[in-house]
Chains A and B, each alone.
Chain A
């Protein structure tokens, strides 16, 4: 016992020494300017891997290969980041925030990456942002939605190349009121955590702001990954709301539709799925026509055609045998934003420093896959994009899932002006929104 205890003590001391020596090597890794090492973080395991993590990882592989080979269409047809090839690796986002932060520190301080691109969960993003600032490391978020990141704080090293989740809700509300002007009531079904609560909150507030006096029949908040929604569906059937809003995604969304469709919920109420695009290819005929789908931005079927978008869709489908969904687009755009910043800074002088890249990234307007991305908010660190919604239509003849009545809302129509919090902007009736 005694001896054993001392062994531990020495082991502990040894660990520290070992650590010190390992550190001797670490900075060396950080110094090497080319190639540019990038850490990519997304869900590789757990329920979120299927719908978000893996599509994003595939997109990253595809785009990084193309960047290194210089195969991207203009304006990205030059090789690498400011000429330097990208050397990247993946890290699993699954696990509590503690672990996610641990991994981030490991990437930055031990592996000495030049930049980190990733994060699906808003929890991760809110946890990482301060750490990125503390460690002074360029970090680009690609999918997480909460507007709080740049509204509650301002960051020098953190960027987000996709819009906040606010535009999903505002867009959904605008679309609903435009397409179904006669509605008297609506209801909500959202997962019981920040994502679901915020999505509903923004949608509800926008509806009340745009058309006061609409009745809220019921708002259901089942547990995340509950899987069983028969009781909620009964409640929604009984409520007979004209419109049902849901920010469900992945397995929960699929389970809900499987359980709701046969019970005729969609015949009785218009269903609005803010992230529905991710499942339309998987569901085909199982998804009733007329369901309103969104893609958290001008992505997937909403992407504006063009050399870049067409290349991405084709290359992705050829390589992974399934069309890209919005997380793929968001990841691609995060990387393209990084490339644009590097190239812009690189024009001034070769192999730019991190601060030069950041300076170039701020307030950057760049061509993203599907639409233009404008780093307009959060002192030039938060992107704004347009948002689009459409109605699902399964084409019996071709067996192709398609969208009808697609409406685009420009960024200025669904994003608050700089310095205004999304929630306040919505309450104020979205003053100054330019929708034409």
Chain B
């Protein structure tokens, strides 16, 4: 069992138990951080392939709306089922769009995914049935049939989020170590060679795209349950931009990096907006700039003692 997985185990246990004595607002914040970390984890998989999606909010939003609509349509209340539904729906749509997007690279990939997310945004804002920009409330979830109350209400969703994150990190970690996972950086390096080794670059990218979408869907669903409210902003391009921001901030060093990055980002923004309401944008900008200039591998590289052999 390697370091990442050991670290994962330690962190998960510490957080799961620690959360029992932690005030709600921290548990809530942690839930949001980890949920958004899931989205970033997906973007990281794409980024290792050299692809950046400026439209990942599409799947984040789909995950969120899936929760709301499943509650309205079939009165689904179980948190686990709702998150699963959001994940599957996002993945399913990614399978379809993937056939198209897998043919695109760099800026065209970024802009086409952005266009798709903005079209969803437009339809959502327009749709009276989904109450346009403001009325979509999400009912508090149930856990394994139990109506949420007491500790379960406080920590249930957090534990669910931890579980989801654990599965995701373990999965992505194993995936990156697998032959197909190795194709992430390989494709960024040289697509022609991949084709001439006999593997379809499009297929590889399609798979990564679906993985990223599923993770984004899960993140969106969890955030929707935690916040208890859905609005189209979750599909607007600035939301996607934020996720890309955190991806760069985190670095692609490890499947754990996105969660560290996400925590740093939320903390940074919380303080920036609270104590410098007129200049938080600038603070974020400067931070991002310094990061790119002086920490090209993301904050994760701070934690890496051994310099990886082939620095990208």
Question: Interface residues, chain A, CB within 8 Å of chain B?
Answer: 1-10, 12-13, 15-17, 19-20, 22-23, 26, 44-45, 90-92, 94-99, 101-103, 105-106, 108-110, 121-123, 126-127, 130-131, 134-135, 146, 148, 152-153, 192-195, 197
Tally of chain B residues near chain A (CB < 8 A): 60
Known interface pairs A1-B3, A8-B7, A8-B256. Does A197 touch B132 (Cβ–Cβ under 8 Å)?
A: yes
Question: Interface residues, chain B, CB within 8 Å of chain A?
Answer: 2-4, 6-11, 14-15, 18-19, 21-26, 28-29, 32, 125-126, 128, 131-135, 137, 140, 223, 227-229, 231, 233-234, 239, 253-254, 256, 260, 263, 269-270, 273-274, 277-278, 280-281, 300, 302-306, 308
Q: Which residues does chain B contribute within 8 Å of A101, judged by CB atoms?
A: 227-229
B7 touches A123 (CB 8 A): no
Q: Which residues does chain A contribute within 8 Å of B234, judged by CB atoms?
A: 96, 98
Partner of A20, one of B2, B21, B302: B21
Cα distance, A156 to B6, chains bound together (Å): 47
Cα distance, A319 to B244, chains bound together (Å): 44
Taking CB as reference atom, which chain A residue is nearest B238? Answer: A96
B305 touches A6 (CB 8 A): no
Taking CB as reference atom, which chain B residue is nearest A45? Answer: B277
A192 touches B239 (CB 8 A): no
Pairs A–B under 8 Å by Cβ, sample size 10: A5-B254, A9-B6, A9-B8, A94-B273, A97-B227, A110-B23, A126-B229, A152-B137, A153-B137, A197-B128
B18 touches A106 (CB 8 A): no
Best-buried of A1, A122, A194 by chain B (most CB within 10 Å): A1
B11 touches A9 (CB 8 A): yes
B11 touches A8 (CB 8 A): yes
Cα distance, A102 to B212, chains bound together (Å): 26
A110 touches B273 (CB 8 A): no
The 7 A-B pairs at the shortest CB distance, nearest first, are namely: A2-B3, A4-B303, A16-B18, A13-B14, A5-B7, A9-B10, A127-B229
Taking CB as reference atom, which chain A residue is nearest B21? Answer: A20
Q: How far is the CB of B12 from chain A (nearest CB, A)?
A: 9
Q: Which residues does chain A contribute within 8 Å of B302, judged by CB atoms?
A: 4
Q: Which residues does chain A contribute within 8 Å of B25, judged by CB atoms?
A: 102, 105-106, 108-110
A7 touches B132 (CB 8 A): no
Cα distance, A15 to B263, chains bound together (Å): 11
B26 touches A12 (CB 8 A): no
Partner of B22, one of A7, A16, A108, A123: A16
Partner of A13, one of B11, B125, B228: B11
B18 touches A152 (CB 8 A): no
A122 touches B134 (CB 8 A): yes
Taking CB as reference atom, which chain B residue is nearest A153? Answer: B137
Cα distance, A135 to B119, chains bound together (Å): 36
Cα distance, A110 to B29, chains bound together (Å): 12
Cα distance, A161 to B134, chains bound together (Å): 20
Q: How far is the CB of A129 from chain B (nearest CB, A)?
A: 9
Best-buried of A10, A16, A20, A152 by chain B (most CB within 10 Å): A16
Q: How far is the CB of A193 from chain B (nearest CB, A)?
A: 4
B14 touches A16 (CB 8 A): yes
B306 touches A1 (CB 8 A): yes
B23 touches A109 (CB 8 A): yes
Cα distance, A283 to B25, chains bound together (Å): 45
Q: How far is the CB of B309 from chain A (nearest CB, A)?
A: 11
Cα distance, A99 to B280, chains bound together (Å): 14
A23 touches B22 (CB 8 A): yes
Q: Which residues does chain A contribute within 8 Å of B277, judged by CB atoms?
A: 44-45, 90, 92, 94
B22 touches A192 (CB 8 A): no
Q: How far is the CB of B33 from chain A (nearest CB, A)?
A: 10
Q: How far is the CB of B252 from chain A (nearest CB, A)?
A: 13
Q: Which residues does chain B contribute within 8 Å of A2, judged by CB atoms?
A: 2-4, 6
Q: Which residues does chain B contribute within 8 Å of A17, judged by CB atoms?
A: 18
Known interface pairs A16-B15, A19-B22. Does A193 touch B133 (Cβ–Cβ under 8 Å)?
A: yes
A126 touches B10 (CB 8 A): no
Cα distance, A3 to B15, chains bound together (Å): 19
Q: Which residues does chain B contribute within 8 Å of A6, judged by CB atoms?
A: 3, 6-7, 10
A102 touches B229 (CB 8 A): no
Best-buried of B133, B234, B263 by chain A (most CB within 10 Å): B133
Known interface pairs A102-B29, A127-B229, A194-B135. Does A5 touch B23 (Cβ–Cβ under 8 Å)?
A: no
Cα distance, A18 to B133, chains bound together (Å): 38
Cα distance, A195 to B229, chains bound together (Å): 17
Taking CB as reference atom, which chain A residue is nearest B260? Answer: A8
A97 touches B2 (CB 8 A): no
Q: Which residues does chain B contribute within 8 Å of A131, judged by CB atoms?
A: 228
Taking CB as reference atom, which chain B residue is nearest A2? Answer: B3
Known interface pairs A19-B22, A96-B231, A193-B125. Does A4 touch B134 (Cβ–Cβ under 8 Å)?
A: no
Taking CB as reference atom, which chain B residue is nearest A107? Answer: B25
A5 touches B229 (CB 8 A): no
Taking CB as reference atom, which chain A residue is nearest B13? Answer: A13
Cα distance, A15 to B3, chains bound together (Å): 20
Cα distance, A428 to B99, chains bound together (Å): 51
A5 touches B228 (CB 8 A): no
Cα distance, A110 to B308, chains bound together (Å): 42
Known interface pairs A3-B3, A44-B278, A192-B125. Does A20 touch B135 (Cβ–Cβ under 8 Å)?
A: no
Cα distance, A197 to B14, chains bound together (Å): 48
Cα distance, A45 to B274, chains bound together (Å): 12
B23 touches A26 (CB 8 A): yes
Q: Which residues does chain A contribute within 8 Å of B125, judged by CB atoms?
A: 192-193
B11 touches A19 (CB 8 A): no
Best-buried of B10, B134, B228, B280 by chain A (most CB within 10 Å): B134
